[in-house]
Amino acid sequence: MTTRAQRVAPHDVLAAAYRCVALRGVESTTLAAVAEEAGISRATLYRWFPGGREELLTQVVAWEHQRFFLALYEAVRNCTTLEEVMVQGLLEAHRAMATHEVLQMVLAQDPGLLAAALSAQDEPTRAQIAGFLLPYLEAHELAQGVDPLDAAAHLARLVLSYLGAPGRWDLSDPGEVAELVQIEFLAGVVPSSLQ
Amino acid sequence: MSLTAITAEHVAFGATVRAEESARRIRAIDATLELVTLRDVRSISLGAVAGQAGTSRATLYRWFPGGRDELLDAALQTEMTRFFCALSTEVAQAHSVEETCVAFLLGAAQRLQPADSLATLLDEQGRGLRAPLTFDGLDQALRVGADFLWPFLGRWMDIASAKRAAELCVRVGLSYHFGVGPTVDLLDVTEVRALVSARVVPSVNLLCLQSQTRGSESHVDH
């Protein structure tokens, strides 16, 4: 007969930890609470996450971060042009972040934790976004001398920057986002429309 | 004191000298900065600063009743002043939008290297530039940088455009300041110039054109 612990995988622990954070907040998400929620012993939890609570929470952030972006790519799946995918992508990402209750709660309770955990995600996410945008760039007429790979890498950096801090842009406004994409993302990438 | 308040106060040409600043206070701040370059900030105590400054802890407390925290904050403010003053001098000499942005990014990168006391003090306060900034940290860095830079860009465009252009320039610089993968060496003038020319100037040209078009449209209405 298999025990409960043998049927639980580390992935399930991340889901359990996420539920703890969502229901009780960051501070109350202790290793004991997560172990109980996941149905495993604390010993097993330590074995899977030797770095303890810090490692666990960092991995939970990474896990949800990945889910967020996968959902985003899915949401813009039907966009056909570069402009469209960027505008819809930014609008949808902003909407998803603004309505993400757990994100907003963690931002309010422990912004330092989030910043630290996200910095490890920065490079892989950039690579992922760049990979996603590349086909759109290759299908689009580009300004002279622009390499699609370089442009994709650059756009990915900018996407993460604007999602982290929109500055003076209102990312809930389709008109502003269209203007933002045209001027600050694509001005040097697509052929100039200047008369 | 917020970073934005520091910028607003110190962006003027020449050093800002507060009337009540005494020689002893300045010596204490300089001693603190000397220690910051010599050792880990966390190990700097009021006693160590007193020794370095050739004074007593009691005297230090008189000038900095808030103790170590107040002293470190004053040291940070001093370095921010020096940073923006030196940067102002360089950026003011630029003769074009492009050169202004290049001078800004280059000058800022040169003075924010990990071993520099300014970077060290920012790190200590958790406002550091060692890891990619996001959310509040990024927002604050964008505002401080753009608040500093836009008047210089305002030499060639209206204020609204200058503010937008400044924020974009700072954002691009910060985006390339971090991380692995294909990045730009912000200490290399050729690379910075290429970055500005490819990633900042086209956008600035377009937003200026849009601003002019809107301006002339409203003229036509009259």
Q: Does domain A1-50 have CATH number 3.20.20.70?
A: no
**B222, part of any domain:** no
The minimum CA-CA distance between A66 and chain B, rounded to whole Å, is: 17
Instruction: Quickly state the pLDDT bin for B222 (edges 50, 70, 90).
Output: very low
Report the pLDDT averaged over residues B166-172.
97
Q: Does A100 touch chain B (CB under 8 A)?
A: no
Chain A partners within 8 Å of B180 (Cβ) = 123
- Which CATH number characterizes residue B9's domain? 1.10.357.10
Residue B202 has its nearest CB partner, among A158, A160, A187, at A187
Q: Is B137 helix (H, G, I), strand (E, B) or coil?
A: helix
Predicted local distance difference test score (pLDDT) of residue A6: 61
Report the pLDDT averaged over residues A56-69.
93
**B220, part of any domain:** no
**B202, part of any domain:** yes
> Taking a C-beta distance cutoff of 8 angstroms, is the pair A133, A149 a contact?
no
Return the C-alpha torsion angle B62, B66, B70, B74, nearest 10: -40
Predicted local distance difference test score (pLDDT) of residue B126: 72
Per-residue pLDDT reduced to its tens digit, B183-220: 789 999 999 999 999 999 999 999 999 988 887 765 55
Q: A114 and B136 in contact by Cβ < 8 A?
A: no
Range of the domain at B113: 3-215
**ipTM metric:** 0.89
Domains of chain A: which residue ranges? 1-50, 58-185
CA distance A41 to A18: 17
Predicted local distance difference test score (pLDDT) of residue A195: 43
Q: B202 and A188 in contact by Cβ < 8 A?
A: yes
Q: B175 and A157 in contact by Cβ < 8 A?
A: yes
> Taking a C-beta distance cutoff of 8 angstroms, is the pair A105, A23 a contact?
no
> Which alpha helices (DSSP H) does A26-173 contain, by range?
31-38, 42-48, 52-75, 82-98, 101-109, 111-119, 122-139, 148-164
Structure-model confidence comparison of residues A118 and B215, the more confident one: A118
Q: Does B212 touch chain A (CB under 8 A)?
A: no
Q: What CATH fold (topology level) applies to the domain A58-185?
A: Tetracycline Repressor; domain 2 (1.10.357)
**B150, part of any domain:** yes
Among B37-46, B169-178, B211-220, name the one with the lowest average pLDDT.
Answer: B211-220
Q: Does A165 touch chain B (CB under 8 A)?
A: yes
Predicted local distance difference test score (pLDDT) of residue B4: 57
**B106, part of any domain:** yes
Spell out the residues 6+ positions from residue A178 whose beta carbon is closer than 8 angstroms to its own.
A83, A87
Predicted local distance difference test score (pLDDT) of residue B38: 84
Structural domains of chain B, count: 1
Among A63-72, B3-12, B83-92, name the one with the lowest average pLDDT.
Answer: B3-12
Report the pLDDT averaged over residues B56-80.
91
Among chain A residues, the shortest Cα distance to B201 is held by: A188
Q: B179 and A194 in contact by Cβ < 8 A?
A: no
Chain A partners within 8 Å of B201 (Cβ) = 188
C-alpha torsion sign, points A18, A23, A28, A31: negative
Q: CA angle at residue A101 from A98 to A103, to 5 degrees?
A: 75
